[in-house]
Chain A
Amino acid sequence: MTRNQITHHLTDALLMAYSAGSLPEAFNLTVATHVSMCDDCRARLAAFDTVGGALIDSADTAELAQDSLAATMARIRAGKSTPEAPAPRRGVLPAPLRDYIGGDLEAVRWRPVGMGVKQAILPTSRAATARLLYIPAGAAVPDHGHRGTELTLVLQGAFCDQVARFGPGDIEVANEDLNHTPVAEIGADCICLAATDAPLRFRALMPRIAQPFLRI
């Protein structure tokens, strides 16, 4: 990935929950993808991991099984030496996202959702949904609000909504209070990774009927 000028970052709450391991998988994927693109959030995440390390270091202890160390040594001796993962190839998309797609951008299986917008839902646990969105230059995603939290990470191109402009690497954290209509900038088609922990609420009639079918 090329380094980007990122101006919209992850919140402390999201970074801490990612470090603690309490986010749904779709959010973990979005956080890991943003951190892959953003050195700033990578450094902040390292600080939250250090908090976890300090807590475990000063925490209570539990009694181990009597043969715990011997059993662990036996595991190590029996263990197939974990084969070295080949150095990951660089791609258009960050590595964690490529893992879920099963390839780079050209491997995405897009499905049309209307007005030129396409989506691809990625396989994660059901607590939240991760999807790739393809918004043609100048097109809009229908006006919608959220019951829960929606994270939208720009991978390519840029979009604007009532809040701000979001370019490559930028992440928008939206909650119940926000109704917005993201519009892709003229010039390049916009590709985003979006994670939601509750269905979106579309304000116009058509998308609301379409919602159960499209799983948005």
Chain B
Amino acid sequence: MAKRAGPAQVTTARETENTDWVACIAAIRDHGDEAAFARLFAHFAPRVKAFLMRSGADANLAEECTQEVMSTLWQKAHLFDPTRASAATWIFTIARNRKIDALRKQRRPEPEDLPWGQDPEPDQADVLALQEESDQLGRAIAALPAKQRELIEKAYFRDLSHSEIAADTGLPLGTIKSRIRLALDRLRHAMK
């Protein structure tokens, strides 16, 4: 099928991947599709495990939590809303909550759901727009200066507060705060 590549039709590999993941989660929800699950698993499980290990879990605990995170994905597939999150974002939030529960032994209070709930038949244009924005943000993070990206990664992956990052890197707290602020400004600018 011939496709004219107008600017609106230019899609990146990652963006196509994002919508593929959305389709995989829908297949799990609708048909209990094990092949779709295996594809998601092959991509995300090794990343979830690495994330948990960088947050301080040993390999055994990280493996167990990863299996729990991935089975939660199966069990809660009907709650995934592709107009509000990409698969990666949703999996990140499940893994983060599991981390707080398993490593810190704490409850994780979550915001009350929006009163209008989830649309059972989400508009495909909304899904595409959200997936494209997630991709755009991913590219903007990849393009950050290394010093800024490292601090953002430390904040998310190492489970460190700003003052712990200061102790960890030997950088003054003020430098860390201003670098993170600069990084966020860049990301906002990239998303305009």
Residues of B within 8 A of A (CB): 34, 37-38, 41-42, 44-51, 53, 59, 62-63, 66-68, 70-71, 74-76, 84-86, 88-93, 95-97, 99-100, 104-115, 133-134, 137-138, 141-142, 152-153, 155-157, 159-162, 177, 180-181, 184, 187, 191
Interfacial residues of chain A within 123-167, with CB under 8 A of chain B in the complex: 124-125
List of 10 A-B pairs having minimum Cβ-Cβ separation, nearest first: A53-B89, A61-B46, A54-B138, A53-B88, A95-B112, A62-B50, A36-B112, A57-B88, A96-B109, A62-B49
28 pairs of residues in contact across A and B, judged by CB atoms under 8 Å: A1-B112, A20-B156, A21-B108, A21-B159, A22-B159, A25-B107, A33-B111, A36-B112, A49-B92, A50-B137, A52-B93, A52-B96, A53-B91, A55-B156, A55-B157, A56-B88, A59-B157, A63-B49, A64-B66, A73-B34, A73-B37, A76-B74, A76-B75, A82-B75, A88-B112, A88-B113, A96-B112, A125-B105
* Complex Cα gap A125–B99 (Å): 15
Q: Select from chain A the residue with minimum beta-carbon distance to B95.
A: A56
Judging by beta carbons under 8 Å apart, are B113 and A50 in contact? no
A65 engages B63 (CB within 8 Å):
yes
Interface string of A39-70 (1 = CB under 8 A from B): 00010011101111111111111111100110
A25 pairs with B106, CB closer than 8 A: yes
- Mostly helix, strand, loop or mixed at chain B's interface? helix
Q: Kindly provide the distance from the CB of B38 to the nearest chain A CB, expressed in whole angstroms.
A: 6
A57 to B: closest C-beta gap in Å: 4
Q: A12-B181, A61-B50, A64-B45 are in contact. Are A51 and B67 (CB under 8 A)?
A: no
Whether A42 pairs with B111 at a CB distance below 8 angstroms is yes
Contact: A71 with B67, CB < 8 Å? yes
Q: Are B47 and A57 in contact (CB under 8 A)?
A: yes
Whether B50 contacts A46 by the Cβ 8 Å rule is no
A78-106 with Cβ < 8 A to chain B: 79, 81-82, 88, 90, 94-96, 99-100
Tell me whether B85 and A50 are in contact (CB under 8 A): yes
8 Å CB contact of A21 from B34, B44, B67, B96: B96
Q: Which residues of A contact B (CB under 8 A)?
A: 1, 12-13, 16-17, 19-23, 25, 28-29, 32-33, 35-36, 42, 45-47, 49-65, 68-69, 71-73, 75-76, 79, 81-82, 88, 90, 94-96, 99-100, 124-125
Q: Indicate if the CB atoms of A53 and B92 lie closer than 8 Å.
A: yes
> Are A64 and B90 closer than 8 Å at their CB atoms?
no
CA distance in complex: A12, B180 (Å): 10
B104 near A125: Cβ-Cβ < 8 Å: yes
**Which of A20, A22, A49, A95 is the one whose CB lies under 8 Å from B85?**
A49
For B107, the closest partner residue in chain A by CB is: A25
Complex contact B70–A72 (CB within 8 A): yes
Report Cα–Cα, A19/B92, bound state, in Å.
Answer: 10
- Cβ–Cβ contact A21 & B74, under 8 A: no
Distance (whole angstroms) from the CB of B18 to the closest CB of chain A: 9
- Selected from B45, B51, B62, B76, the residue in CB contact (under 8 A) with A82 is B76
Q: Are A96 and B110 interface neighbours, CB within 8 A? A: yes
Asked whether A51 lies within 8 Å of B141 as measured between CB atoms, the reply is yes
Minimum CB–CB distance for A139 against chain B, Å: 29
Q: Which residues of A contact B152 (CB under 8 A)?
A: 51, 55
How many angstroms between the C-alpha atoms of A127 and B13 in the bound complex? 44
Contacts A12-B184, A72-B70, A75-B71; A49 near B156 (Cβ below 8 A): no
> CB within 8 A of A55: which of B90, B141, B191?
B141
